[in-house]
Amino acid sequence: MTRSVLIFRPVGYALIAFSALGMVACSDNPGLTEYADKLHSDVHDTLELPARSITPEKPVLQYPAKSELKRDVERTSLGFMDSMRLNHCRLGQEIAENNSSLGKLKDGFSKYHADLTMIQALEDCIEHPESANVKAQLEEALAHKKSQLNASLANAFAFEEGLRRALSVGNNSLPKIHVTEYNYAVNALERFTRILERWNYTKEADDPSEMIKMLGRLERSNYLPDLFRTMLDYEHKLEAMRDQLPEIPEALHCPNGSVPKKAEQLRDSFNNIYIKEMQGDIAEVIEQHQRLLMTLENLQGIAPQPALKGYIAELGKLSKVLTDATVHFVRPWQRFYSACNFTPAPD
């Protein structure tokens, strides 16, 4: 398998293809972004400069609170006598199930599925020849139930724990890049989204077991939240390093062809930390994130709440944000390497 990523070279970044098997960087240390702290410390020690912390605060970007996303849903009801005359169609059974103790416990997308199922049952019962005496009441109930469906969908996005976890920013950066764990989570999110798209388009709900299974997988996985956190932490640390050291001191740009010892030390630190470790990790997390873009775009289109649409849109920008931060960070190093004719390769 090959993939194209941004690779540092003295005159700039280049898009090249290479074997994923040979270049995926995995850290034995907890938190991939700790390499940035190591590079920051080594560079400032070499230059004998004070180094302020580049550790980020908790990201501002967070899945909106349930209270912010919650919508009021008006209950759709039939008169007692009317509901007693529905045993000839499936609607009577659906009403009984919804009014049961288990039915009242449904939330998230299980509740949305129940509402779609109720709409289907109402439509079917209206067409039943034995419904003539209650047809007007059923049509009124159907119109009301449909009017509440968008609010039901909004509450599913607000309260579904599996989806909230999958699209939240985690508390920690990834300890390492793990393809199997990534595929487990992203496949579940993609399959969930395809089912939701179908329900949203047809307004018909099929067997919910597959969706429930996928949401369960998402609720048990921290990989996507930690991927988002890794990207935000790397972006912050790269920008912070660039802010604290906008340029490599001109005296170390190998004047008159001589190579100062500190220039060699900087080269070795950059080669052995950024080139050897960070570069491959950053490329990999960007690639993993880019696979999510279509799914995020589809979920953004379905979510009813503007606040949630905006949040998902920000998640979709993380690849570009991190790429821009990376390019911004390496520019002074590119000038430094070019001036000294250094090769960007680890020992």
pLDDT in tens, the chain (347 residues): 334 344 556 555 553 333 333 333 333 333 899 999 999 999 999 999 988 899 988 889 999 999 999 999 998 877 644 556 788 888 888 888 877 766 665 789 999 999 999 999 999 999 998 888 888 989 999 999 999 999 999 999 999 999 999 999 999 999 999 999 999 999 999 999 999 999 999 888 888 999 999 999 999 999 999 999 999 999 999 999 999 999 999 999 999 889 999 999 999 999 999 999 999 999 999 999 999 999 999 999 999 999 999 999 999 999 999 999 999 999 999 999 999 999 988 76
End-to-end CA distance of the chain: 26
Q: How far apart are CA 336 and CA 254, in angstroms?
A: 8
Q: What is the DSSP letter of 24?
A: -
Tokens, residue 132: 């003539």
Tell me whether residue 222 is exposed, middle or buried, using C-beta atoms within 10 angstroms of its C-beta: 0 to 12, 13 to 18, 19 or more.
Answer: middle
For 258-281, give one letter per residue: b (16+ CB within 10 A) or e: eeeeebebbbebbbbbbbebbbbb
Tokens, residue 342: 């250094």
Supply the pLDDT for residue 273: 96
Supply the pLDDT for residue 26: 34
Q: Is the dihedral of CA 290, 8, 180, 310 positive or negative?
A: negative
Supply the pLDDT for residue 105: 58
Chain centre to alpha carbon of residue 40: 28
Residue 73 near residue 159, CB atoms below 8 Å? no
Cα dihedral 211/216/218/219 (nearest 10)? 140
